[in-house]
Structure 1
Amino acid sequence: MLLCRISAVSHALARWGRRSHRRGGLLHQALPFSSSRCHGVSSGEGSAQPAETGSAKGVYRDTVLLPRTKFPIKLTGQKLLDRELEIQKCGFADLYSWQRERKAKKEFCLHDGPPYANGDPHVGHALNKILKDIRNRFEMLRGRQVHYIPGWDCHGLPIELKALGELGTSGLSPLQIRQKAREFAEKAIARQKAAFQRWGVMADWDQCYYTYDGAYEAAQLKVFQEMHSKGLIYQDYKPIFWSPSSKTALAEAELEYNPEHVSRAIYATFPLITLPAEILFDTLSNVSVLVWTTQPWTIPANQAICYMPNAQYSVVKRADNSQLLLVAMERTASVAALLGTELESVGTFTGSQLEGGICKHPTIPDKEVPLLPANHVTMAKGTGLVHTAPAHGMEDYSVASQYKLSVECIVDEDGKFTESAGPDLHNLSVMREGTDKVICMLKECGALVKEEKCVHSYPYDWRTKQPVIIRPSKQWFINTQCFVNLLQKVRVLPESAKGSLLAMLDRRTYWCISRQRSWGVPIPVFYHKETGEALVNKHTVSHIATLFKEKGSDCWWELPIETLLPPEVLKKVRISGPVTDYIRGEDVLDIWFDSGASWAAVLEESDSRADAYVEGKDQIGGWFQSSLLTSVAVRNKAPYKSLVVHGFAISEQGEKMSKSLGNVVDPDTVINGGKDNGLPAYGADVLRWWVAESNIFSEVQIGPSALNSARDSIGKLRNTLKFLLGNLHGFDPLTQAVDSKEMHYIDQYMLHLLREYSMKVTDAYSEFDAGRVIRVLQAFIARDVSSFYFSIIKDRLYCDPEDSLGRRSCQTVLEEVLDGVTRSIAPILPHLAEEVYLHAPGHDKTLFKSGWIKSSSVWKQPGLEEAVEGACAIRDSFLSSIPGKHAAQYDLTVAVEPGLLFELMESLQEEPTSTSSQLAELMMAARVNLTSALPRDLPSDALLNHGTFLINLEGGVIREDSAYDIAVVPASGARCPRCRRYTAESADCLCPRCQTVVSQAQ
């Protein structure tokens, strides 16, 4: 036989792209389970009605082996919730501890980014935590030891403000503020932790990390110490983002950019009082440099005007008033349109020729400002000449550093002009009345050319939602310029996020890490009372870290200076003066430094480098970056091997969730139902399915439609699982399983498909692509299992003798399919998977302690694959010839010329004609005749069809395009009253197979 020859081939069959087409006619919905459905076959579902109760045919009903199981087809309401809680209590409680104690060759470390402890759990938390849990459960199932310690970010201004807001009191001491903030954070943590557990997230919930814990704070200070020792942390006076509403410095990651911010933009003139050396035309007297800015309040702080060295500049004359203006040639047309007049060029120069020019400040008498070259000047907007106020711009500050310009700050912490801004501006808010006054001053001196409203993106404080300003301040900074090519060995999903992270790192030259608040980790710095000189080194920091580990960071305010800076430490740092010469610093560390140092506190048990960090896209500028910077600075390596960046949860209308819009989806309501909105109790698995099914790399929509769809999908899956369980009633896989070599070919082929399925699912989980897992699952269930395999084996499963090899063969496969499908859904639907596992035969422990899908390499059957799929091609031709009619009502003649395809079909049916061959079963016909040519005496009503099948073995070494013909005629036999196949000799007479089964039963 050819099948034997093929089995000796060393390499597998080269698969070809028409397989899905071969089974394409079978893509129906999963068969509904019903204990009253029987076994028959048709061109559609392949099912028939059971014998009629009370009729002569009904006497055989008890001899048909229908599905039996206590597994419920549906769980809803409180029963569903109780079942999930029972499974969590009995099956999930000790999973994390169990897997940490078992021996494993490899560890999988997913480092949990700390959620912020300032509110109730929301769907964004659910998206993140469930996504992590899906991967962790998968890794645990496949035998790895999972390292996952949940944590919380506990410090920071939002918690401090909410704590103070609840108290309704000001003037508290730092310790009082910290106590209230800690209490607030603890309550939020308790609520969030309970929610995460209810969602089925696997962890040791008694061993979490908290950034306010003393041991954590001590580890954080060690990171600070290492970075300071390397000269990466320093104190300086430079511009930073400052929030007048919060009265603290902010980092880039603490900003939100409002794209609809409206500024009062102005065009103003700076008279050119000293012409550049290379511009000596007499006609160019009384020239003014025209600048544009969206922040008029910064004009009093102007120290220079910058130009682009390689650009072309023109002196232009206004047609309406003969004023001479210096602008970039590229911007002349736009400026002319803006002013509503023609601009005549009277001289053109390159930017480099402007060197040496000096302008008069328009509002400050006797102040002169130079023209300076700068690389940050662009031609996108404005005039090509940039007003430069070093105290209020990052790029402006760079120019000041290069040319030694003044960086005097004229704005205080409240965002108001200081006395040094002059009596007209003193104490005015720079963003409001201060802007009004500066514009008025420009008008009065004739320097205001044009004012307009400008809608643009502007940074806001992410906590208070108020605009920020840039002002210089003496702060602590980290030098980030030395971190180059940090991400080369880090895998980022999606790949586009890597570019965003690299771009942010490239723009970030320093990181301001000091904050002027009370609720945080104190920066361990002492200052000399008279000189203000900072005292910070490895000895002082190490001592403070030890105190924090023992007592917590409250001791910074509780202990006397003599304890914080004892004589033995002073001796090590060689300070001879008394400790009373020093005071402790009042700033705390940026909370991004808090969380960014988590690798030092949490990853010590692993190889100190996580396999993955998984967070939302906002962490590209936050935790991903701060973790990277601190780790590379201290250890010269990234703290993670891969990054997974997911999108945000939004409403089904594509809107950001907001209480004011009424579109917030509460995960607790999703699980337990809502009385007010009438939502049903979906349970945790529906929430998890929503996460898994979503395209996490974009914005993820949630609402009734998505949740109902998830519930319906799980319902269809339960249906299939119930069918599998029902047909395994009484089957013992340990004693009754059939070796794959003895199975029917269609059963072996199903194992072949199951192996392919398991590999696809494993690959998808490994790529954090749970959505692909669901798509592969649904295709496998609908196409390969329900519509294809179930429809073919039902007759054998229900009507063959209970202990027959054929029936045990397909039961063995059904048990393997049930086991494989159950394990494959377990990371996503742990409650359903555990419930199924408890109903399946031969199990005595939780699924999650029993491993991943068990597929065997012997299931891969290239020659068998060609035999069955060649028959499937013929089957499709047969079914397409009788659309809408029962296949069992027809006899089929298959004519194949001698060759490979004929030998393949002969392996499925050795005799020329049969009603019980494997080929007949696969065709679902009453009888199949296998011949080399169609008979000439076919009846006139015979349905004819023709097709070809490409055999491709050993990667093309064996290749044959074989033709076949089929003829379809009404069945010659009568319908058997037991199995309802048209294989009986006469009506009311059992077919030979059923006669044997019934006689044995009697």
Structure 2
Amino acid sequence: SQQVLPGKPRRRRRRRRRRRRRAASAQRLYRDTVLLPRTDFPMKLTGQKLLERELEIQKECGFADLYSWQRERKVKKEFCLHDGPPYANGDPHVGHALNKILKDIRNRFEMLRGRQVHYIPGWDCHGLPIELKALGEMGTSGLSPLQIRQKARAFAEAAIARQKAAFQRWGVMADWDQCYYTYDGAYEAAQLKVFQEMHSKGFIYQDYKPIFWSPSSRTALAEAELEYNADHVSRAIYATFPLITLPVSVLVWTTQPWTIPANQAVCYMPNAQYSVLKRADNSQLLLVATERAASVAALLGTELESVGTFTGSQLEGGICKHPTIPDKEVPLLPANHVTMAKGTGLVHTAPAHGMEDYSVASQFKLSVECMVDEDGKFTELAGPELQNLSVMTEGTDKVISMLKDCGALVKEEQCVHSYPYDWRTKQPVVIRPSKQWFINTASLKEKAKDALQKVRVLPESARGSLLAMLDRRTYWCISRQRSWGVPIPVFYHRETGDPLINKHTVSHIATLFKEKGSDCWWELPIETLLPAEVLKKVSIVLTDYVRGVDILDIWFDSGASWAAVLEDSRADAYVEGKDQIGGWFQSSLLTSVAVRNKAPYKSLVVHGFAVSEKGEKMSKSVGNVVDPDAVINGGKDPSMPAYGADVLRWWVAESNVFSEVQIGPSALNSARDGIGKLRNTLKFLLGNLQGFDPRVQAVDPKEMHYIDQYMLHLLREYSIKVTDAYSEFDAGRAIRVLQAFIARDVSSLYFSIIKDRLYCDPKDSLGRRSCQTVLEEVLDGVTRSIAPILPHLAEEVYLHVTPYDCDHLFSGWIKSSSVWRRPGLEEAVEGACAIRDSFLSSIPGKNAAQYDLTVAIEPGLLFELMESLQEEPSSTTSQLVELMMVARVNLTSKLPRDLPSDALLSHGTFLINLEGGVIREDSAYSIAVVPTSAARCPRCRRYTAESADCLCPRFINKWSCI
């Protein structure tokens, strides 16, 4: 073997060390000549510094005055988002944050795009929950209505103050000194005008009919005030009503045994088939729908032999004996609401305690006698055995016992089913008849449906729920037996109980409410409420009348908000949670259609609820409630640091608001990380724009490098996409478009390509100024596009840009120009990028800058496009070299034959599509990749120098070799 002299390796190592030292010395020498980014914009803000900075920005940038400023602008178009009033009964929660921030994002977007935003925040201030919370354990004992109202108002005002402070901290843009409140006199007066209009048109009437009644809160309820408990357990029974003329018993099924004493009929389906069935175990004859016979047999645990079969219509004229009331007879009657889904196909009918039962009573003139009082207990009409028993508990026990004693009870079972509860007290309600004020929604329904067809609904799937809710609502009970609310402006005759209400009386009371507030209903003497000039018009004697004591349903309160806030106009949008499909959306629609024959909104946006990260409903007892104040300022739990308001806003924007919106550490950390990555990009942009004044240093797009022009083209595409997303109330898509643009187009593509030109070209060179012009446009576009979501960050960026007195953030939306789209530009750059992708895939994991690239393209469109990027056959400084990020590019029509043996070869095609498809060419290319023989330049660190301690040719004239 060959002998190796021991000294040679050491000498080689020493030479390498000397070269490295010289190269390092050269790099240090030129370090200060490189134009690196400089900015004091912080990469990260956390903890107390973050919170202090956000508050400073709110103050310094005039967040409090922004709404008033934009209202004073002279612009042609207005955007009106009508605020659905949050309930003034508690602290702000994440549901508020989701709703208010979602609205604010759209409002800020519309303001930036040059529209005058009309947005007046409001609060729903009346109602039982506020009354109950205000009174606490005191109850109403010994308190006058005015005393109750005073305490309720104070409670509502305190809740409003807390909520308002939170909304301002979240950066919600509004004039917070000019809000609307449903307890304000002017608002109440506008509401009474709506009431009067609807009454004069016959939509509002008084009647005695079944309504949802809450014994726990002693008041009537509307459908929107119910929540259905799917796990409610009832004691369901099968009971018999013997036929008078035959030894046959009609078998009925009910989940409400307490209603049996109020029975007035048994209903059947006229077109269905019925059978007389003989029990095998005791020979009893039962009348049951044929379709239900097998189910009944299985339930009773015995065989049922069919004795005879006939149609329901043959039951007409049949009479049964009431099982618990001697000598009471009840008819068999046809009804459309009878179904075969469950039970026996024969329905026990108590008109006082069922909506459909009441319809039957109206048709056949049955008695609608109520045996249940306001506490949910049987009255004396139910008889001594039942009087004073609670119908839902011991009353049910007693009725079942009575049925058993008289032999009418066939079977009892536990039935788990959906049952209406009072949404405030969480206790079950009953249906009982009461004299109340109603809106005849049946007569409004078709008009409301027609109006809704002209409304844009997001998501469109919510339209079906809106229409279904309207279909189910035949009437709307609007009277409540409470003190805290807007009194129904009606007087009653002392003896007859007949109501006195007309346009003269209501108009006068509305004027009083506007001047004095609705407390005057209890404060003023009746002769002031019904003055002489009003009495003359209606020819009555004052002393014969007393004022009413009922108040209006709070859904009527809030549903009339369009009259107080919008007046004659329509809102561009209503934006609320899905619970308002049967609530505010519907009450607003019905009242507006009744008075104005049109919907109060042009579009409806229905968002989901905020839930835990496990998808669970938030509950204090479960311990999964997320407090928005803790999100911003930090919580007691270490998993909840101080995120600040912008993270809360990003969470809202990033979520799919059209479904349930999850919140927790994962979602909030994701939002914080998203903002962190964005700050990194913004810092790079700001750092490289230090000292750049676009007013005098900007470069005309026609003189720019192709990649710079292409970046402007991408910016324009971005602006179109992000504008579309905001226009669709889809801030989540806006964020995804932003992140894709930043990650793919700006950072991965553009930043990586331009750094050499940006850092190493002369400060005032065309190439560098071209680059900076684009960076300024990107910074401006990105900052404006994030401003609706992240107003604090956007303003912080502009505070760092202002040295050259730039246009303010709110001077407009993203600036883009169709001039930026130049024919062939897109194809040239994207063709080069396709070639670069092929090249990079051939050297995975290696530094592209250390290679020379030969690109061979047959003469044609693609070759011409590449020639526009590199005119000479071989270059180390062309635009094509910059795009490829290599040491050298050789552009040729075919690969040379004398390629080195270590050359890497690959091939590809690129489809050129010009003039909308008129010009199409599928062009082939080949590339050869070889390691460069050049050394690394100590200044630009590109492999284009003759030796490691010498500058590359483009700097030779300015700086000498070492």
Bin of the TM-score, shorter chain as denominator length: over 0.9
Say which SS state the counterpart of residue 775 (structure 1) adopts. helix
Alignment of 1:199 onto 2:170: yes
Structure 2: how far apart are the matches of 1:908 and 1:329? 86
In the alignment of these two chains, the number of paired residues is 938
Say which SS state the counterpart of residue 840 (structure 1) adopts. helix
Other-structure match for 2:472: 507
Other-structure match for 2:158: 187
Other-structure match for 1:96: 67
Kept in 2: contact 1:63–1:998 (CA 8 A): no
Other-structure match for 2:334: 373
Q: Which digits, 9 at most, give the CA deviation of each residue in 1:105-138, with x for residues without a partner?
A: 1100000000000000000000000000000000
Relative to structure 1, is the Cα distance of residues 330 and 305 closer, same or farther in structure 2, using a 3 angstrom cutoff?
A: same
Alignment of 1:891 onto 2:821: no
Choose from 58, 67, 83 the match for 1:112. 83
Q: Which moved more, 1:853-862 or 1:437-446?
A: 853-862
Other-structure match for 2:792: 831
What residue identity is the alignment partner of 1:588? I
What residue identity is the alignment partner of 2:212? F
What residue identity is the alignment partner of 1:247? R
1:649 positional shift? 0.5
Kept in 2: contact 1:733–1:842 (CA 8 A): no
Relative to structure 1, is the Cα distance of residues 263 and 323 closer, same or farther in structure 2, using a 3 angstrom cutoff?
A: same
Structure 2: how far apart are the matches of 1:834 and 1:223? 43
Say which SS state the counterpart of residue 983 (structure 1) adopts. strand
Show structure 1 runs of 5+ residues with no match: 1-49, 275-284
Structure 1: how far apart are the matches of 2:613 and 2:136? 33
Other-structure match for 1:743: 704
1:574-589 matched pairs, under 5 angstroms: 574-575=539-540, 577=541, 579-589=542-552
1:759-770 matched pairs, under 5 angstroms: 759-770=720-731
Other-structure match for 2:119: 148
1:52 positional shift? 10
Kept in 2: contact 1:164–1:170 (CA 8 A): no
1:667-816 matched pairs, under 5 angstroms: 667-677=628-638, 679-816=640-777
What residue identity is the alignment partner of 1:62? D
Say which SS state the counterpart of residue 347 (structure 1) adopts. strand
Q: Which digits, 9 at most, give the CA deviation of each residue in 1:466-517, with x for residues without a partner?
A: 0000000000000011221230100111111110010010110100000000
Other-structure match for 1:60: 30
What residue identity is the alignment partner of 1:327? V
Q: Which digits, 9 at most, give the CA deviation of each residue in 1:567-621, with x for residues without a partner?
A: 110111232x2x11110000000000000000000113xx520000000000001
Relative to structure 1, is the Cα distance of residues 167 and 440 closer, same or farther in structure 2, using a 3 angstrom cutoff?
A: closer
Structure 1: how far apart are the matches of 2:21 and 2:124? 66
1:902 positional shift? 0.9
1:846 positional shift? 8.1
Kept in 2: contact 1:134–1:827 (CA 8 A): yes
Structure 1: how far apart are the matches of 2:369 and 2:23? 98
Structure 1: how far apart are the matches of 2:45 and 2:302? 76
Structure 2: how far apart are the matches of 1:665 and 1:170? 37
Say which SS state the counterpart of residue 242 (structure 1) adopts. strand
What residue identity is the alignment partner of 2:55? L
1:787 positional shift? 0.5
Kept in 1: contact 2:936–2:945 (CA 8 A): yes
Kept in 1: contact 2:951–2:960 (CA 8 A): no
Choose from 98, 117, 133 the match for 1:162. 133
Structure 2: how far apart are the matches of 1:265 and 1:501? 32
Q: Which digits, 9 at most, give the CA deviation of each residue in 1:325-344, with x for residues without a partner?
A: 11111111111111111112
Say which SS state the counterpart of residue 614 (structure 1) adopts. strand
1:590-739 matched pairs, under 5 angstroms: 590-604=553-567, 608-677=569-638, 679-739=640-700
Structure 1: how far apart are the matches of 2:503 and 2:302? 66
What residue identity is the alignment partner of 1:818? L
Alignment of 1:130 onto 2:101: yes
What residue identity is the alignment partner of 2:619? S
Other-structure match for 2:929: 968
Alignment of 1:517 onto 2:482: yes
1:169 positional shift? 6.3
Q: Which moved more, 1:233-242 or 1:315-324?
A: 315-324
Structure 2: how far apart are the matches of 1:842 and 1:508? 62
**Alignment TM-score, normalising by the size of structure 2:** 0.96
Q: Which digits, 9 at most, give the CA deviation of each residue in 1:614-656, with x for residues without a partner?
A: 0000000100000000000000000000000001001111111
Show structure 2 runs of 5+ residues with no match: 1-19
1:847 positional shift? 4.2
Structure 1: how far apart are the matches of 2:550 and 2:752? 72
Other-structure match for 1:296: 257
Other-structure match for 1:929: 890
Relative to structure 1, is the Cα distance of residues 949 and 136 closer, same or farther in structure 2, using a 3 angstrom cutoff?
A: same
Q: Which digits, 9 at most, give the CA deviation of each residue in 1:331-384, with x for residues without a partner?
A: 111111111111122211222222111111111111111111111111111111
Structure 2: how far apart are the matches of 1:191 and 1:475? 36
Structure 1: how far apart are the matches of 2:496 and 2:207? 15
1:845 positional shift? 7.6
Relative to structure 1, is the Cα distance of residues 163 and 51 closer, same or farther in structure 2, using a 3 angstrom cutoff?
A: farther
What residue identity is the alignment partner of 1:362? P
Structure 1: how far apart are the matches of 2:22 and 2:809? 44
Say which SS state the counterpart of residue 243 (structure 2) adopts. strand
What residue identity is the alignment partner of 1:175? L
Other-structure match for 1:310: 271
Alignment of 1:252 onto 2:213: no
Structure 1: how far apart are the matches of 2:667 and 2:913? 43
Q: Which moved more, 1:955-964 or 1:801-810?
A: 955-964
Relative to structure 1, is the Cα distance of residues 791 and 206 closer, same or farther in structure 2, using a 3 angstrom cutoff?
A: same
Kept in 1: contact 2:23–2:938 (CA 8 A): no
Structure 1: how far apart are the matches of 2:745 and 2:187? 52
Q: Which digits, 9 at most, give the CA deviation of each residue in 1:802-830, with x for residues without a partner?
A: 11111111110011001100000000000
What residue identity is the alignment partner of 1:598? S
1:995 positional shift? 2.3
1:677 positional shift? 4.5
Kept in 2: contact 1:150–1:208 (CA 8 A): yes
Q: Which digits, 9 at most, give the CA deviation of each residue in 1:55-109, with x for residues without a partner?
A: 2321000010000001011111111111111111122121100111111111000
Relative to structure 1, is the Cα distance of residues 848 and 891 closer, same or farther in structure 2, using a 3 angstrom cutoff?
A: closer
Q: Which moved more, 1:320-329 or 1:235-244?
A: 320-329
Say which SS state the counterpart of residue 63 (structure 1) adopts. coil
Structure 1: how far apart are the matches of 2:436 and 2:789? 47
Q: Which moved more, 1:607-616 or 1:135-144?
A: 607-616
Kept in 2: contact 1:521–1:589 (CA 8 A): yes
What residue identity is the alignment partner of 1:260? D
What residue identity is the alignment partner of 1:517? R
Say which SS state the counterpart of residue 253 (structure 1) adopts. helix
Other-structure match for 2:912: 951
Kept in 2: contact 1:823–1:847 (CA 8 A): no
Other-structure match for 1:463: 424
Q: Which moved more, 1:607-616 or 1:150-159?
A: 607-616
Structure 2: how far apart are the matches of 1:166 and 1:624? 34
Say which SS state the counterpart of residue 956 (structure 2) adopts. helix
Higher relative contact order (CA 8 A, sep 6+): 1
Other-structure match for 1:395: 356
Structure 2: how far apart are the matches of 1:859 and 1:378? 67
Say which SS state the counterpart of residue 862 (structure 2) adopts. helix
What residue identity is the alignment partner of 2:367? S
Say which SS state the counterpart of residue 902 (structure 1) adopts. helix
Other-structure match for 1:444: 405
Q: Which digits, 9 at most, give the CA deviation of each residue in 1:242-282, with x for residues without a partner?
A: 000000000000001001000000011111224xxxxxxxx
Say which SS state the counterpart of residue 32 (structure 2) adopts. helix
Alignment of 1:81 onto 2:51: yes
What residue identity is the alignment partner of 2:547? R
Other-structure match for 2:837: 876
Say which SS state the counterpart of residue 935 (structure 2) adopts. coil
